[in-house]
Structure 1
Amino acid sequence: MLNLTYPLTIKFKFGVINPQFSVVDGTGRTVAFVKQKAFKLREDISVFQDEAMTQVRYRIKADRWLDYNASYQFTDGEGRDLGRLVRKGARSFWKAAYELYDEGGKQDLLIQEDNGWVKVADSLFSEIPFVGLLAGYFFNPKYNITRPDGTKVAVFSKKPDLISRAFEMEKLAGFEEGEEVRIILGTMMMVLLERNRG
């Protein structure tokens, strides 16, 4: 997933049982496709080149079946370690927080929800008949992606939409080696986890 044109958009397929989404770059080119397997106790996600699902580019694998403080390992198609995503359980109850680590085990990025109240409002209003249909248009969480020194490198946010779910990533700074792949794989996994939480 190199030489990408931003913004990137994650588009979920509508009307399917298992979550499926494609990642499309700013030129409209599909750069990745994910289909989550049903009834897996431990997440093991294949990231394909495209919807044909013939070539696995990356894998994301959980280290445990309970997702409280779970770690999600990233590897390429040949099994080489690319880093991992760690969900910070206690902090995630209010505002979602995830740490990204490089292949050497050093934390190099943080993904943190901008405003916890958006998730609360979305959950409350989505349960009200008719009003709930509009919740997806007005309440859209945003996640800031920063380095430990506070440098904001990207913003990941849900796009206003009445029916389907789509997310967009804007690049705000140049990426260091390995960061781009970790950010994209990390936000893919995060969006699946947050989707399950509502």
Structure 2
Amino acid sequence: MVTSKLNYPLTATFRIVTLSPELQVKNASGDLVLQIKQKLLTLREDTTAYEDVNKTVPLYRMKADRISGFWAVHNFWRSKGETYLGSIRANGLRSIWRISYTVTDQNQKEIFRIREENPWIKLLDGLLCEIDGIGWIFGMFINPVYLVEDVSGRVLFRIKKKRSFWERSFTMEAEQKVSEEHQELAVLALAQSVLLERARG
């Protein structure tokens, strides 16, 4: 488990120009929490989360259950003992308007939902970024916020998207105390949703 390193806020970062999708999650002290690499040329998305930057110690695996990656259920496994932890799936229509994600535990029970705090911000973000040549400049100043809520609607984490010239980052702040098991799932859900949002734009 990575919970011993979960000193919030966490920051998940990926470079814009890269052949193979790779994501790095660090804690508030700048220590590496997970180094995440997505396999290339696979029919079903297959991602491994490592303990170290050199990717020698695998901790988790995140794999889609079907070829259509965005609408697939992405299952989480702990590498040691191949323990099933839970999953994340997208809900609703894939568009620049709004999307949400449902996170379940090992018993397929819903525990989190990730949604955009203000879908108008995401809409504006998507529209401006489509402007040829200058869209990315406007996009630098529009950063959507995502909420991680429990089944009662209580906000547990707040995720803010940030941009720079060479990379994108998502910062996750803890709003409530959460069990270690649910924190572990929240970090994996953060990583997988960032990869899905990366593909979404």
2:41 aligns with 39
Deviates more, 1:50-59 or 1:66-75: 66-75
The correspondence for 2:13, drawn from 6, 11, 14, is 11
Q: Which runs of 4+ in 1 moved over 6 A?
A: none
The correspondence for 1:190, drawn from 193, 196, 201, is 193
The question of whether the paired residues in 1 share the 8 Å contact of 2:45 and 2:69 is answered with no
The question of whether the paired residues in 1 share the 8 Å contact of 2:32 and 2:52 is answered with yes
Q: Secondary structure at the match of 1:165?
A: strand
Q: CA deviation at 1:136?
A: 3.2
Deviates more, 1:41-50 or 1:119-128: 119-128
The correspondence for 1:170, drawn from 170, 173, 176, is 173
The question of whether the paired residues in 1 share the 8 Å contact of 2:66 and 2:72 is answered with yes
Q: Does 1:98 align with 2:101?
A: yes
CA distance in 2, matches of 1:39, 1:136: 30
Q: CA deviation at 1:127?
A: 3.0
TM-score by length of 2: 0.90
TM-score by length of 1: 0.92
Q: Does 1:137 align with 2:131?
A: no
CA distance in 2, matches of 1:2, 1:76: 13
The question of whether the paired residues in 2 share the 8 Å contact of 1:72 and 1:85 is answered with yes
2:75 aligns with 73
Deviates more, 1:35-44 or 1:116-125: 116-125
Q: CA deviation at 1:43?
A: 0.9
Q: CA deviation at 1:72?
A: 0.9
CA distance in 1, matches of 2:54, 2:192: 21
Q: Secondary structure at the match of 2:28?
A: coil
CA distance in 1, matches of 2:64, 2:111: 19
1:147 aligns with 150
CA distance in 1, matches of 2:152, 2:123: 29
Letter in structure 2 aligned against 1:99: T
Deviates more, 1:29-38 or 1:114-123: 114-123
Q: CA deviation at 1:121?
A: 2.1
Q: CA deviation at 1:27?
A: 0.5
Q: CA deviation at 1:177?
A: 4.4
Q: Does 1:181 align with 2:191?
A: no
Q: Secondary structure at the match of 1:166?
A: strand
Q: CA deviation at 1:2?
A: 1.1
CA distance in 1, matches of 2:22, 2:69: 20
- The structure with higher relative contact order (CA 8 Å, sep 6+) is 2
Instruction: Please give the root-mean-square deviation of Cα atoms over the aligned residues, in Å.
Output: 1.7
Consecutive unaligned residues of structure 1, counting only runs of 5 or more, are: none
Percent of aligned positions that are identical:
33
After superposition, give the CA deviation of every residue in 1:26-53 in whole Å (9 maximum; x if it has no partner).
0010110112222222111000112110
Consecutive unaligned residues of structure 2, counting only runs of 5 or more, are: none
Q: Structure 1's 140 and 107: CA in aligned 2 closer, same or farther, altered over 3 A?
A: same
Q: CA deviation at 1:172?
A: 0.5
List aligned pairs for 1:46-65, cutoff 5 A.
Answer: 46-65=48-67
2:128 aligns with 125
